[in-house]
């Protein structure tokens, strides 16, 4: 157990809809990163939040957005869902953006 929890675990959305995924970081961890993992591939960095500010972003379009709250929990929002957005979305937390990131179990998103 890493102490990182994500919800929901599975969900199905229709193309064009919007989705919000949630993450509670490990106690005391103030840095949260989000990754997208397509089936059979390694995770791809979406963005990172540190003390409620985005401080790094991967090669994802603006319809991928996020928030971090004062308790360091985080949300990933995806607008105008596309079929290719179907993937496992992983949240990882660390302390002060430190080296070791602890991942949650992920949220499986299927877009139909």
60 binds another protein (CB under 8 A): no
Q: Which of residues 7-46 bind another protein (CB under 8 A)?
A: 31, 33, 35, 40-45
Looking at 12-20, 55-63, 69-77, 78-86, which segment touches another protein (CB under 8 A)?
55-63
Beta carbon of residue 5, minimum distance to another protein (angstroms, whole number)? 10
Nearer to another protein, 18 or 110 (CB): 110
Three-class SS string for 23-85? Answer: EECCCCCCEEEEEEECCCCCCEEEEEEECCEEEEECCCCCCEEEEECCCCCEEEEECCCCHHH
């Amino acid at each position: 157990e890493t102490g990182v929890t994500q919800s929901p675990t599975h969900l199905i959305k229709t193309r064009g809809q919007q989705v919000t995924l949630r993450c509670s970081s490990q106690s005391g961890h103030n840095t949260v990163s989000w990754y997208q993992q397509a089936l059979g591939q390694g995770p791809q960095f979406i963005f990172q939040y540190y003390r409620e500010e985005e401080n790094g972003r991967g090669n994802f379009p603006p319809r991928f957005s996020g928030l971090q709250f004062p308790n360091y929990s985080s949300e990933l929002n995806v607008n105008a869902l596309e079929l290719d957005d179907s993937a496992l979305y992983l949240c990882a937390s660390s302390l002060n953006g430190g080296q070791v990131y602890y991942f949650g179990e992920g949220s499986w998103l299927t877009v139909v």
